[in-house]
Copies of this chain bind each other. A is one copy, B any other.
Amino acid sequence: MENQKYDVIVIGGGPAGIISATTARKYYPDKKILLIKNIEKGVIPCGIPYMFETLKNPEENAMGNAPLEKNNVGLMVDEVIKILRQEKSVKTKAGKTLIYEKLILAMGANPILPPIKGLDKENVFPIYKEMSYLKGLKDKLAAAKNIVIIGGGFIGIEFADEFSSIKGKNVSLVEAFPYLLMNSFDIDFGELVRQKLETKGVKLSLNTKVAEVLGQDKVSEVRLSDGTTIPADMVVLGIGASPNTKLAQAAGLDLGKGKGIWVDEYMRTIDPDIFAIGDCVGKRDFFTRKDLPVMLASTATAEARVAGANLYKLKVVRENKGTIAIYSTYVDGLVLGSAGLTEASAKAEGFEIEIGQAEAPSKHPATLPGTVKTKVKLIFSKQSGILMGGQVVGGISAGEIINIIGLAIQKRVSATELETLQMATHPHLTAPPTMYPLVLAAQDVVGKI
């Protein structure tokens, strides 16, 4: 059998893989591009929590192939089992050998399975990004009454919100840290999520670990570190993921400190013809250059655009030299966003900071129907006055307010600049110009720095 030859091969069918392929097509219209994925039908990662009740049918969250077809990117469902760097080829499970000029690794991450006894029992579900698997979870969910979610990060709280919207489910959530979303928010914001989930009837066990998952073949209860037990027909694991670096490691690519594949500023591994992007890649923190354990589709797609454009020549020069954590989430109408450092993480890293805070109505006058409170917390470097982080809670638009903060961090905006920011305001859409919360929070801090 003759080996198939391609100019560009992408391994991985998630957002990073897809966007790197379509970006490559845009910049290199004549190249022969192939994307290989090992999952027949994937899902939109961020939409997973909403496949159980919010969306009528899980199929509505399918990751389609239309962008690939539209961009003339070949598609193969198969698993790459080896990268041969000398030959510049990959071998697949189905026995194919495929030659590449440029290879893009976008293999994503695997859910972390903590060393808890009993996780191998039936009805214990880590979150895999695969349609058939998640449909199976939904089927089991129908019969489950008592559900325990392990982990109070984004996945955990969004699943708790979704499951507690279904009639007749008893939902419990167990989190080892003292408060929810602790990696991304300060405690005052985490507390708002706790209140919201408790209002929905979710039973929270904070500062508590899971000691063991009990049951015969199937899970029946969960024993906590404090000795109490919770009845459980189903357990969902949401405690993070680790970069999928197996293939890269076997091919002798550098893994830096083991937190993902090492890449340079342009997503090139130590092999100049092999790029790596997304969750399988190590990130460098925007503020410290240290490893940053952030796995986000938005980060992955930004990296994919850099890689796709720069495959043959470095066309897109990167201006932001590092990754910021930037998140938004939604719990029963409550919207939270976080960008950059929190007060806690900034202090832990040793930054001397000042905090600016503000509250404002989401519309004006606040008597307009549907007005909610927007609360903003900004973290500035005390000496230089540069914005290093921000958190927001509010209504739907808070999902874009956090992106204003994110851009301001990336452009190293100062408190003074933010204090005199020019912005659009409108009664139905924003806080009043006299109380625009980013301006107020900047002003709150200006006197102190």
User: Chain A: residues with CB nearer than 8 A to chain B?
Assistant: 15, 18-19, 23, 26-27, 44, 46-47, 49-50, 54-56, 60-61, 67, 296-302, 305-306, 309, 316-320, 323-324, 326-330, 335, 337-339, 364-365, 367-369, 395-404, 406-408, 410-411, 413-414, 416-417, 419-430, 432-434, 436, 439, 443, 446-447
Contact = CB atoms under 8 A, between A and B. Distances in A.
Contact of A326 (B67, B317, B326, B423): B423
A419 B305 CA distance: 8
Nearest to A317: B416
Contact of A330 (B55, B329, B419, B429): B429
Contact of A18 (B54, B398, B430, B434): B434
Contacts of A56: 367
Pick the most buried of A54, A327, A414, A424: most chain B CB atoms within 10 A of its CB.
A424
Counting every copy of the chain, the complex holds 2
B430 A400 contact: yes
Contacts of A326: 422-424
Given A44-B365, A328-B429, A429-B396, A407 B406 contact: no
A425 B406 CA distance: 12
Nearest to A154: B426
A433 to B, nearest CB: 4
Nearest to A429: B399
Contact of A422 (B15, B410, B417): B410
B417 A429 contact: no
A368 to B, nearest CB: 7
